[in-house]
A and B are shown apart, each in its own frame.
Chain A
Amino acid sequence: MKSSAGAKMWSSMKYLERRVIHAVLLLVGASILSFLFSSLAPGSFFDEMKLNPQISPETVAALRSQYGLDQPLPVKYFRWVKSVLHGEWGYSFAYNQPVRSLLMVRARNTLLLTALAMALAWLIAVPVGVWVASRRGRWEDQLTSASTSLLLSVPELVLALALLYLVIRTHALPVGGMVSTGFDRLGSWGQMTDLVSHLIVPVTTLVLASLPILIRHVRASMIEVLQAPFIQAARGHGISRSRLLFHYALPAAANPLISLFGLSIAGLLSGSLLVEVITGWPGLGPLLLEACFSRDLYVVIGVVMASTLFMIFGSLIADVMLVAADPRVRTDYASERA
């Protein structure tokens, strides 16, 4: 008995090990791909300087070679990998500092925004999804499904613009940036409320954009479980409705939701680009856009890699959680091996 439990443990460890290796390989592949794309570029950051008569072509060439831009692609790639291993992630031409320090600040802001939005979206979507699943076909369900389809077809761009319109019209909230001017002079409570008031518009946009998908998935997987015989049996035993829904049905419906949760972790860094740019939130989105316009090569690659890292990390977390939550996944894997 004990040895079989040990074997199961070992096999799921083995499974995770394989997943981690897979993730690392994916990451390497993604970095090679971004470098390949970047090699399509005919210009570089220093091309603008060539137009400036005060800078001699020799200086531009010297700068190019100083930053290694005159090297062939594989050399550039390996230099970049080395710099990643040193914790620098390449060098930003425009900001004149290692990319990592830039990324860290911006990624923190983005995470603050998206993590909050994700938490809120799930907190709303799960009860709503469970509730409409239990009222399948009635007016509450139909109303919710109509509004989710409508919301699903409103692009994030439009959503953000419409919210901004409302906020500016009503003068209810400050617009743009992360904090007001004079933030440093506020007390800690004042700083807190200031930050929150700046967060409301982007967070609401993100929540509204992700709600329809979440609600639909929760509803669909709940409906499937609610038809199962064990729910009928539990109902026959006179178990109360809320206990039935949240205690019996929801855990059984959790598997696809766990995968979805992993996906929303995956989108944490990359899901808010548009909203950040439109509402002026100083996250990774505006950084990437600026870097795109100024051809700040390593910043672009850094941002893409950081969000790819999160993508891969998120799906890895989903796998781990699935293995932890569902014994069937473990045994499936064990039997697959055997």
Chain B
Amino acid sequence: MKPRKKKSKRKLIAAAIFLLALHLAILLAGFVAPCPPAEQNRDFPYVPPTRVHFVDARGHLHLRPFVYPSAPRLDRLYEYTEARDQEYPVHFFVAASEYKIAGWLPSHTHLFGVDTPAQIFLAGTDNYGRDQFSRILYGGQISLAAGLLATGISLFFGVLVGCISGFYAGWIDESAMRVAELFLVLPWLYVLLAVRAFLPLHISAAQTFLLLVAVIGTIGWARPARLVRGIVLSARSRKYVTASRGFGASDAYILRCHVLPHTYGTLLTQAALLVPQYVIAEVTLSFFGLGLSEPMPSWGNLLANLQQYNVLVSYWWMFAPALVLVLVSLGYLTVANAFHQRLQSGSIE
């Protein structure tokens, strides 16, 4: 049993580090991304990912990585070759376009960049020649924020209803759980689309975002509520709760100090399960054109390019946001799995 536990712990740490790094990169998108998300290079649509070289055409090894500028091929549309006459080394901490760190601190320093006329497109460009790598990072701000906020909303309502329902039992419990059952039985993707359909289509980006988050978050409160209720119900009848009540503790005090701490493990596990689910929900809605609209990048908007068959078939780098999405889900699910295992082994001991 022991090596298994160790392995699961190692997995948890690896996944947590990966997620932390990714969230940090996305939070500091302005710094990590070489260009702003809406910057267009009309001369360079559908450029494949720029190759980063260490060995030049003459066979010399360079310690500093470099790129060749891409040049459109004259004989074919949307195809490029590397112009190998001159190497453009990749510089780190370069000054370029201004942005705001995490939305408020202005700065021009970017993690990396190359001198003009060369450009560095780590994940290629889209039909307007916008750098996909930068757009994935900026898009992550929206997709991940949607997932995290919606999870917060779900857990908040889940804890609220679950606590009241489990603690006071009786008819409150009965009716709350019937409503929860109702929400569980609804096909959530359908409901999400339906609710979105009933909301106005043309509103500002910030409003759309908040509405989306609110809708996604409120639909999912039922499962956490049921889990919390179960835990509260069993914690409430413990002897120390009765004792504490005997000492004159108020309901709020008992809930906060003796009952709620039991739910933390389950809540963390639920959160790790819900975040990827809600990120995917946002991606799905945006993919269908019901989420945020262009030019705001979100992972769903980026993937929506793949709805055109020619893009799907010809430009494989347009799948890059999908890869990031898979990695994010994998990270969160690994964390959820590790939490779940710990919780179960804890309850057996």
Contacts and interface: CB of A to CB of B under 8 A. Distances in A.
Contacts of B178: 29
B200 A42 contact: yes
A34 B187 contact: no
Contact of A291 (B185, B187, B197): B197
A300 B190 CA distance: 9
B333 A161 contact: no
B160 interface: no
B149 interface: no
Residue among A161, A175, A295 with max Cβ neighbours from chain B (10 Å)? A161
B208 to A, nearest CB: 14
Interface in B227-275: none
B194 A153 contact: no
B182 A30 contact: yes
B330 interface: yes
* SS class, residues of chain B in contact with chain A: helix
B186 A292 contact: no
Interface stretch (B28-36, B40-48, B318-326): B318-326
B322 A158 contact: yes
A168 B194 contact: no
Interface string A277-298: 1100000000011011101000
Interface residues of A, number: 48
B322 A292 contact: no
Given A29-B182, A40-B199, A149-B330, A304 B191 contact: yes
B332 to A, nearest CB: 8
Given A155-B325, A157-B284, A292-B193, A38 B185 contact: no
Nearest to B187: A270
A161 B194 contact: no
B333 A152 contact: yes
B198 A38 contact: yes
Contacts of B185: 26, 30, 308, 311-312, 315
A246 interface: no
B303 interface: yes
Nearest to B316: A165
A40 B198 contact: yes
Contact of B194 (A150, A175, A292): A292
Interface in A4-46: 26, 29-30, 33-34, 37-38, 40-43
Contacts of B334: 149
Interface string B315-349: 01001001001100110011001000000000000
Interface in A311-331: 311-312, 315
* SS class, residues of chain A in contact with chain B: helix
A30 B186 CA distance: 7
B206 to A, nearest CB: 18
B214 to A, nearest CB: 12
A292 B197 contact: yes
Given A30-B182, A274-B284, A293-B197, A158 B326 contact: yes
B276 interface: yes
A300 B193 CA distance: 9
Interface in B178-222: 178-179, 181-182, 185-187, 189-191, 193-201
B74 interface: no
Interface string A190-224: 00000000000000000000000000000000000
Interface stretch (B79-87, B88-96, B305-313): B305-313
Given A37-B191, A149-B330, 13 more contacts: A29-B178, A37-B194, A40-B199, A157-B283, A157-B287, A165-B313, A270-B189, A277-B288, A289-B288, A292-B194, A300-B198, A304-B190, A304-B191
